[in-house]
Structure formats: structure tokens, C-alpha cells
């Protein structure tokens, strides 16, 4: 058995090794993206301020830690995702043996059951400030973490994910051997309200799974 870090994986290598197939759409992802939610006045002010700070304070040039702390986590936490049943965790280790390969790595962010420590993960996030990075492919890293999360849920439940490149968020879903990736949503324009809406939807979907 060999060990392999999440950073080693790309979409191609995941498909070749584990038989995953990318499809154009999945009903569970369509449902996540189509959720109806209108931000109230307070939410609109907060999200607009977050967006303006990103644009006017050099967000495209922030490093990964700055991006996480100034933009990504504020958006996720503001969506109200955390409670006593499940919460948002940062920089947590995950590992699982699949096909005689020990997959292990640190996930930039995850939403999992538990409130002190993660138990069952349902959402895995990978983020970078650049489109290409010497330390790996964010799409592949998000998907391999989702595959590990699927295994930890006994392959019985869908797993959601997201990868973020600077201002752009893409959402993912994995069901069985099929996965789908959304178009991107920009946090630097009005689409920040879509990102907030989808994060609200994520809570609804997780409630159905646990």
C-alpha cells in the first residue's frame, strides 16, 4: 500500500485511478444551485462591504492565508452554517484507504458533523489565489477530499465541494462515481449574493443528509 497526499491529485489521475466520471450536471448539484433566497438589508450591506473590500484592497493579490481570512471564511461563517450538529472546520487532516492507496491531506475547509472536531464530512473546500499553483490543482484536491468524505460516509450519501481561485467560486457534487462542477461565481460583483444564497442552500442540503 502506498501513501499519497491530496496535493498530488488532478481530475485526470482521479478518474484513471478510481473510475470517477465527470458529468454535465447532477440533480443534487442543480438543487443546490437553484435554491431561492433573498438577502435582507443587513445581509446586503455586509456582503457589499465584503465585495468592495476585495476589489479596492487588492484582493486579487492576496496570498492564500489572506484570501481565507479576509474573504472566504467571512462569507461562509456569515451564511450561518455552524451549529451544534455540524460546523465549518479549517485546516483539518483527512485520510482514508481506497483501492489500496492511503489518501491523506489537510483540507483548507470542510463542513462536517461535530462542533469541536469534525466527524462525518459533507462539504470539502480547496482554495488558491492563483489559477495555477506549484503545490497542486485545486479542482483535483477538492475532488480527492470529496472522495475520502464519500468513503467516510460509507459511499451512501452525496458529497459537496468547492474550489476557489481568487474571486471565483465553483461548486461541485459527487454521487457514486459521477461528479459535476458548476460554472464559476465571482465574489467581486453582484454574484457574491449568489455565493451567499448557495451557501444558505448548502445548509438545507446537509440537513437532509444527516
pLDDT tens-place string over residues 68-84: 999 999 999 999 998 99
Which of 78-82, 130-134, 147-151, 168-172 is predicted least confidently? 130-134
Q: What is the pLDDT of residue 160?
A: 98
CATH topology of domain 2-209: tt1808, chain A (3.90.1570)
Tens-place pLDDT, residues 40-78: 999 999 999 999 999 999 999 999 999 999 999 999 999
Mean pLDDT across 132-151:
86
pLDDT over 90 (residue 90): yes
Q: What is the pLDDT of residue 141?
A: 96
Residue 128 cell numbers, joined: 488558491
The DSSP line for 63-81 is -HHHHIIIIIHHHHHHTT-
pTM: 0.95
Q: Are 31 and 206 in contact (CB under 8 A)?
A: no
B/e letters for 152-175, b = 16+ CB within 10 Å, e = fewer, are bbeeebbbbbbbbbbbbbbbbbbb
Q: What is the pLDDT of residue 203?
A: 95
Q: In Å, how far are 36, 85, 102, 189, 196 from 201, measured between CA atoms? A: 8, 17, 32, 20, 9
pLDDT over 80 (residue 132): no
Q: Are 199 and 184 in contact (CB under 8 A)?
A: no
Q: What is the pLDDT of residue 128?
A: 82
Q: Write down the domain spans for the chain.
A: 2-209
Mean pLDDT across 10-18:
98
Give me the chain's average pLDDT, please.
95
Amino acid at each position: 500500500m502506498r501513501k499519497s497526499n491530496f496535493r498530488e491529485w488532478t481530475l485526470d489521475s482521479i478518474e484513471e485511478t478510481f473510475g470517477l466520471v465527470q458529468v454535465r450536471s447532477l440533480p443534487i448539484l442543480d438543487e443546490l444551485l437553484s435554491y431561492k433566497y433573498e438577502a435582507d438589508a443587513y445581509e446586503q450591506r455586509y456582503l457589499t462591504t465584503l465585495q468592495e473590500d476585495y476589489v479596492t484592497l487588492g484582493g486579487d493579490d492576496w496570498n492564500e492565508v489572506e484570501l481565507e481570512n479576509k474573504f472566504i471564511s467571512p462569507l461562509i461563517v456569515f451564511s450561518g452554517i455552524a451549529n451544534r450538529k455540524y460546523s465549518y472546520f479549517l485546516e483539518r487532516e483527512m485520510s482514508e484507504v481506497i483501492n489500496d492507496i492511503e489518501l491523506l491531506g489537510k483540507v483548507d475547509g470542510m463542513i462536517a458533523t461535530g462542533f469541536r472536531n469534525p466527524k462525518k464530512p459533507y462539504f470539502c473546500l480547496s482554495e488558491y489565489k492563483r489559477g495555477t499553483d506549484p503545490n497542486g490543482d485545486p479542482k483535483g484536491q477538492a475532488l480527492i477530499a470529496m472522495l475520502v468524505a464519500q468513503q467516510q460516509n460509507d459511499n451512501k450519501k452525496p458529497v459537496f465541494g468547492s474550489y476557489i481561485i481568487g474571486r471565483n467560486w465553483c461548486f461541485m457534487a459527487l454521487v457514486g462515481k459521477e461528479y459535476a462542477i458548476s460554472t464559476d461565481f465571482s465574489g467581486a460583483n453582484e454574484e457574491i449574493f449568489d455565493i451567499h444564497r448557495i451557501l444558505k442552500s448548502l445548509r438545507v442540503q446537509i440537513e437532509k443528509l444527516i
